[in-house]
Structure 1
């Protein structure tokens, strides 16, 4: 599992593994010269991210390209020469011998048809020239060419079902840049026919496009001339109408007409003001007459004619009223003072006396107001009669006479007003009509002038020659295209040469085989231990002394790689036929020659070959030991090398393969550990089967053999990924006190594993099976149930802190089927985003039991990050 302090966005359950320290060897791999070795140590780059995973990563490696050519130069050269020969010969004989007919046209610049024109419109000329090129190959031009006598009966066209389409594809029209020349080309086997066809197309183009364009220009000139004459007649007619209107107004100047209208409008405003004043006077007379009539009828009394506000204001100025009001105010204050002072409040005799006095003063005030009101009304009425000096002071008879006179004046003023307003309106309309006619005449004259200019330019353009003219008709060609056929044949041969050799080299390059020793370090992140010359039965055998010396060097590096010399050494490869069996036999022989009692165990159950390398017979061996048919001593047989013994592959079946994952296999290896100084296991390929992973759990070191020009780096990288992440290294190679580190890590896991992960919060502890924890080799573990606050979903987390070889075998894909579950969705890799940033690589799969389905995520703690083994198929 990942670092306990990491907060994932989802859930995961798996076993943890303490990663090896950087620079510490643990396991083995090799590439140098023919066969090579290197330790499977902690890679220099993260698993799954090596350059070897993608043969094209980082662009083309020219050194790899050279080695690819070195490996396949013979088949590449043979295929390249074959394709080049076939391509060149086929092109020379199959390419028909053609003749080419060319007609020459000239497309002139438009400035040659303009007077005093020195500017060239390049864009217009290019557009015009390209248009002519397209028109030459247009269907209506080609159809017109086919209508010419004798064209359709030509052999080149008679055999074509779609003659127009054939001409569109065959006719070549080119217009070189920076020139006025257009070429019409056609290639064919018959020189006279191609010449006749080119001339027919050229003539159809000149007739139906060029000459038709000139006819359209003439037609446009005639239409322009006719329209120009019509406009001139219209201008004269409108000028006559304009002059007649100006004569009726007395002037043709719009500004003067506007001034006259302005004076009339001022007169209209004056008449309107006088009319409004007389209407106000009439309203005042009507009001006075209505008031007088109401008084005579008794509808309005004298007191009602005086406003109440005036009466109240004059009453407040009366001295006696003021004195009574002040006395009333002082009594009010006395009542308030006595009321607050006395405990009895309103029942105090003094307060009651003051209240009686207050009521008396209020009554006297009301009586005084009633006494003063008639006097005030009379006084106000008299004052009003004295101040009245207008019509209201006159008698009703005079007022009615004045009203009749005012009405007659208003009627006369209305007539004058309407007359002057009508004159102003008429003058305004006439002025607007005069201005509009003037603008229309000016606009029409401008248009007519432009038409005159265009008419003159059209006359000049028509008098000039056509922009397109025929320079030279196509003539019967005398020579064929022998040089062109030769050039095309050479190009075809060169293409075959490149395609044939390049395809073989490219295929070899994509296979990405190991070419040099340093590729293991640079691209896979491994340390090279040494090399061994290739040993083959079909080739000359190398010097035995040299082979022994190389293997002894490898043996010395292996023996000194750790604090203690490894007792069980596993030799494997990525795929088959990479020299692992030969290497295992030679390494076992080297250990025996050094005076150590050594056993060579053939662990490749499916394809056992170790007995062939030692010259032994295939008899009961490792499979029989796993099944329990024989014991260790019965399976061991001596060899021709002193101190070297062997256990052959025997007869393998399904029971022997399944026994690899049971405790019996550990007992067998333990027995060999006690009986021999060293045990060398020749295991099966890493990427083909899981046998080597299970045997690696019982080994002290793993050696991965590679073969120069045979091993493929992507597969080697996949094998390293698989062995590294699945925990095939052991603590014997780390030089660390793994037990103490595991105890510390287990305490940290159980004490610091967080109870909240984003929206996920701790709910309760889950019970774990003691037997499962024992099988997983758990030193510490966490098993909890979490609940999502937002979605209410629940997940269980199971984290184990254990040794690599124990934890890597305790995974859900093995445990759940043993508990009665079936695999629903096969395991695959998935990346889960982390809350704090980054991502975690996990395995995931579904397991089904009756109607209960589980989705499980599991991962391994690699270098402090959650990582999943990359699955690479051989």
Structure 2
């Protein structure tokens, strides 16, 4: 059909197609349009009439010194419209008019809706839509009266509640302020003096502990240095001299002369009194003079050693003097170490005493902080209650002054619009427009919806675009004659001219595809599903080749349910299965027909295992012999999906023609069949759209005229006849 698979541009043919589509569903479209109009008519006849009115209400809002929104809980202009249509006002108005107070019953039987809004002059326009004439006339004036009454009742009730609450709250505040003052005086009178005295006694305690701890740390470091390093006597005395200058001992102090721990009671054995002689005197310590004497003695000893022998009396005298000086220095070191130990013991004892007083100091601090917080809290509470008491007194005077004065005034001025005779709904003109619009929407949308929901193959372009296959042609739907199995096959009668022309088109397109790919000498006619018309297409295609004068063999390769022998009114056996299984000579099995140049090979008797030989070398050998004898070989095969024969013989044939039943074969079945054939390396010449209903207007305009009146197919075939024939595959 198409020389190249390209997407068609929008043309006059497309317009004709859509017009034909609408003509195809014309009766449905007219039915939907009529149903829509009838539905609108039923609604107009049986719908309840609705009336409406628009009323004007004057609105004035007066200011007053009282903050009514916060005190009396009165609503401002922003929520006035909501209050007019509140359930309570609706119930009061319905009660006045003798209507049911239940909102569901009221809206179901009488009211549709009420729409209040402010106009440009800050007046209120109220639109009432109802089923009753009485309601649209009387609802707004009664609603305004009930709103004002309810407002007055609510304000009076709120005023009494506020006055009672304020009086009770002022009484409670007065009692609370008095209790706070009494508690403050009790707290300040008893505890303040006691805490102040204790705080004065203990306020230097942390500082003393810090000083003593620092001195002890210094003593510990010096002691660690004396014990861990090899220092001379003079170096140790120098370190101890630094500590003595900063000593914390005073003459007359009693300290523990033992381990330096705190003295428990009176223990004269371990108690030691610090004497003035135990402390350093003057600026120059004695050991420094001894060190100088030692250096002089050493110098004299060195000089004497140059002159005298060690046993000389002078050398002995100098050695005795040196020994006395060393003993004096050691005695000084012992005294300094004792003073160091005394000071360390004294400091430890003082620190222990101060640490014992530390919990008492912390308790005094907590008591002082708690007293300060209590006093502050009482002061804050007193101020809060005093301010609240004053604010309540001011509010009470404002409520008593301003609660009796009106703030909101509403006055019904009359109806701006009143439709209580002719209903606003149903409106005949609007209903006609809506019904007509809905009918047109359904009428024009239904054809597209039906086409969208149709998942079967309905056009040649559908397969060409989705599967990239060429449409070889279409076969129109022919009325089935009574008792005929295949309506399109008539061996004795005159052939249908339209059907003949269609198969000439198919034959021409098939030969043109063969010139591009492979010469269609041995070709398979297959389908995705059973009963799609492949037997009829095989017969007519073979007959079309035979009419060209080409010797044609028609083979029924459907060894399971072959039907070609019924078309020719012959027996099925012997046939292809007998040749494959029993080795019969095909020349004895192939039968002639009453069609010139057309021979027939039936399926044969159903034999177990015959279907397995379709793709065997035996079949290939027989097919090679057929190629030598016949110009065209048309093979009718089983369906592609579910059976293997068609796929098995692809390696032995030149190509495949796929038959698709228009309007019945699902598109996904066609896709699966094409994928199966391509997976077996089949040469797909194209497809034939079978049983196309030309009585459908869209199909008639798209296909019938095109194939029936187009002669370029014959011209193309004449050109092919002038070309040299394609080589025969051996």
Q: TM-score range by the shorter chain?
A: 0.5 to 0.7
CA 1:541–1:707: 2 relative to 1, 3 Å? farther
What is the aligned counterpart of 2:478 among 536, 553, 571?
536
User: 1:701 offset after TM fit, Å?
Assistant: 1.2
What is the aligned counterpart of 2:638 among 684, 687, 697?
684
Q: Which residue in 2 is equivalent to 1:92?
A: 41
User: 1:128 offset after TM fit, Å?
Assistant: 5.1
Q: Deviations over 1:670-689 (max 9, x none)?
A: 55345434322122333464
User: 1:524 offset after TM fit, Å?
Assistant: 2.0
Q: Does 2:695 correspond to 1:729?
A: no
CA distance in 1, matches of 2:414, 2:474: 80
What is the aligned counterpart of 2:453 among 496, 510, 521?
510
Q: Which residue in 2 is equivalent to 1:554?
A: 509
Equivalent residues in 2 for 1:703-852 (5 A)?
A: 703-706=657-660, 713-725=667-679, 727-729=680-682
Q: Which residue in 2 is equivalent to 1:465?
A: 409
Q: Does 2:126 correspond to 1:173?
A: no
Q: Retained in 2: the 8 A contact 1:101–1:474?
A: no
Q: Which residue in 1 is equivalent to 2:159?
A: 221
Q: Deviations over 1:478-535 (max 9, x none)?
A: 3357853675466456545644664454223322555665544433223x26435637
CA distance in 1, matches of 2:270, 2:47: 132
Q: Which residue in 1 is equivalent to 2:28?
A: 79
SS of 2:25's partner is helix
Q: Deviations over 1:268-306 (max 9, x none)?
A: 9799889x99xx9xx968726999xxxx98978999997
SS of 1:129's partner is helix
Q: Deviations over 1:138-179 (max 9, x none)?
A: 7xx39x94x779757xxxx9xxxxx86443445311427665
CA distance in 1, matches of 2:273, 2:176: 78
Q: Retained in 2: the 8 A contact 1:174–1:184?
A: yes
SS of 1:99's partner is coil
User: 1:216 offset after TM fit, Å?
Assistant: 1.3
CA distance in 2, matches of 1:428, 1:457: 43
CA distance in 2, matches of 1:65, 1:447: 86
CA distance in 2, matches of 1:302, 1:618: 150
What is the aligned counterpart of 2:552 among 574, 591, 598?
598
CA distance in 2, matches of 1:685, 1:609: 13
Count of matched residue pairs: 556
CA 1:69–1:548: 2 relative to 1, 3 Å? closer
User: TM-score with structure 1 length normalisation?
Assistant: 0.48
CA distance in 2, matches of 1:301, 1:204: 111
Q: Does 2:293 correspond to 1:319?
A: yes
CA 1:704–1:371: 2 relative to 1, 3 Å? closer
Q: Retained in 2: the 8 A contact 1:68–1:505?
A: no
CA distance in 2, matches of 1:687, 1:607: 15
CA distance in 2, matches of 1:174, 1:182: 7
SS of 1:569's partner is strand
User: 1:558 offset after TM fit, Å?
Assistant: 3.5
User: 1:636 offset after TM fit, Å?
Assistant: 1.8
Equivalent residues in 2 for 1:443-482 (5 A)?
A: 444-446=389-391, 449=394, 462-466=406-410, 477-479=420-422
Q: Retained in 1: the 8 A contact 2:577–2:605?
A: yes
CA distance in 2, matches of 1:375, 1:93: 135
Q: Retained in 1: the 8 A contact 2:546–2:552?
A: yes
CA 1:100–1:379: 2 relative to 1, 3 Å? closer
Deviates further, 168-177 or 489-498: 489-498
User: 1:232 offset after TM fit, Å?
Assistant: 8.5
Tell me how large the CA RMSD over aligned residues is: 6.6
User: 1:559 offset after TM fit, Å?
Assistant: 2.9
Q: Does 2:462 correspond to 1:524?
A: no
CA distance in 2, matches of 1:473, 1:216: 31
Q: Retained in 2: the 8 A contact 1:606–1:652?
A: yes
Q: Deviations over 1:443-495 (max 9, x none)?
A: 544565567677777655x34325x9695699993335785367546645654
CA distance in 1, matches of 2:589, 2:603: 10
Q: Which residue in 2 is equivalent to 1:646?
A: 600
Q: Which residue in 1 is equivalent to 2:253?
A: 287
Q: Does 2:563 correspond to 1:588?
A: no
SS of 1:694's partner is helix
User: 1:371 offset after TM fit, Å?
Assistant: 7.8
User: 1:569 offset after TM fit, Å?
Assistant: 1.0
Deviates further, 570-579 or 662-671: 662-671
Q: Deviations over 1:47-80 (max 9, x none)?
A: xxxx9xxxxxxxxx99999898666645632233
Q: Which residue in 2 is equivalent to 1:441?
A: 386
CA 1:659–1:427: 2 relative to 1, 3 Å? closer
Q: Which residue in 2 is equivalent to 1:185?
A: 129
CA 1:551–1:92: 2 relative to 1, 3 Å? closer
SS of 2:159's partner is helix
CA distance in 1, matches of 2:611, 2:76: 84
Q: Which residue in 1 is equivalent to 2:61?
A: 112
Q: Tell me, which stretches of 5 or more residues in structure 2 are unaligned?
A: 66-74, 186-191, 213-248, 258-266, 340-366, 481-487, 489-494, 686-730
CA distance in 1, matches of 2:608, 2:300: 131
Q: Retained in 1: the 8 A contact 2:118–2:125?
A: no
CA 1:447–1:374: 2 relative to 1, 3 Å? same
Q: Retained in 1: the 8 A contact 2:53–2:136?
A: yes
Q: Retained in 1: the 8 A contact 2:256–2:271?
A: no
Q: Retained in 1: the 8 A contact 2:56–2:125?
A: yes
User: TM-score with structure 2 length normalisation?
Assistant: 0.55
SS of 1:317's partner is helix
Q: Does 2:636 correspond to 1:693?
A: no
Q: Tell me, which stretches of 5 or more residues in structure 1 are unaligned?
A: 1-31, 45-50, 52-60, 117-122, 158-162, 188-193, 249-260, 332-353, 355-359, 385-421, 734-874
User: 1:570 offset after TM fit, Å?
Assistant: 1.2
Equivalent residues in 2 for 1:195-214 (5 A)?
A: 195=133, 211-214=149-152
CA distance in 1, matches of 2:134, 2:665: 67
SS of 2:427's partner is helix
User: 1:81 offset after TM fit, Å?
Assistant: 2.6
CA distance in 1, matches of 2:275, 2:85: 108
CA distance in 2, matches of 1:529, 1:271: 114
CA 1:133–1:233: 2 relative to 1, 3 Å? closer
Q: Return the index of the structure with the highest Cα Rg.
A: 2
Q: Which residue in 2 is equivalent to 1:255?
A: none
User: 1:436 offset after TM fit, Å?
Assistant: 5.9
Question: Could you say which structure has the greater relative contact order, defined with CA pairs below 8 angstroms and 6 or more residues apart?
Answer: 1
Q: Deviations over 1:315-367 (max 9, x none)?
A: 97163488679999xx9xxxxxxxxxxxxxxxxxxxxxx9xxxxx99xx8999
CA distance in 2, matches of 1:302, 1:224: 84
What is the aligned counterpart of 1:135 among 87, 97, 104?
87
SS of 2:639's partner is coil
CA distance in 2, matches of 1:114, 1:63: 77
User: 1:663 offset after TM fit, Å?
Assistant: 6.3
CA distance in 2, matches of 1:541, 1:206: 88
Deviates further, 307-316 or 163-172: 307-316
SS of 1:571's partner is strand
Q: Which residue in 2 is equivalent to 1:619?
A: 572
